Amino acid sequence: DLQIVLGTYPITPASDILHELSKYKHFNVLTFQAEDEIAGIGAAIGASYGGSLGITSTSGPGISLKSEAIGLAVMTELPLIVVD
């Protein structure tokens, strides 16, 4: 089974995604509440390097903070889901 890893920083309204996915541990879903937006996407990219499906979520201006890391995921052709 493919493990799903959500690395995110809780920002309204995207924090609801973190809260809801944390209920699905028995479906191989791992959630990580990071200290900032960049650490959240870094954790998701690290999970993808490790063979999991990395997901990160944000709201509005958080995308600009994650842009450099999104570029890394594109260059390395890693699977990464970004929810805005």
| 4-83 fold | Rossmann fold (3.40.50)
Asked if residues 80 and 71 have their Cβ atoms less than 8 Å apart, the reply is no
In 3D space, the residue among 13, 59, 5, 4 whose CA is nearest the CA of residue 37 turns out to be 59
pTM for the full predicted model = 0.93
Calculate what percentage of the chain has a pLDDT beyond 70: 100
Average pLDDT, integer, range 11-38: 95
Average pLDDT, integer, range 42-70: 96
The tokens 């937006």 sit on which residue?
A: 37
Write down the pLDDT at residue 8.
Answer: 96
The rounded distance, in Å, linking the Cα atoms of 50 and 3 is 10
Write down the pLDDT at residue 1.
Answer: 86
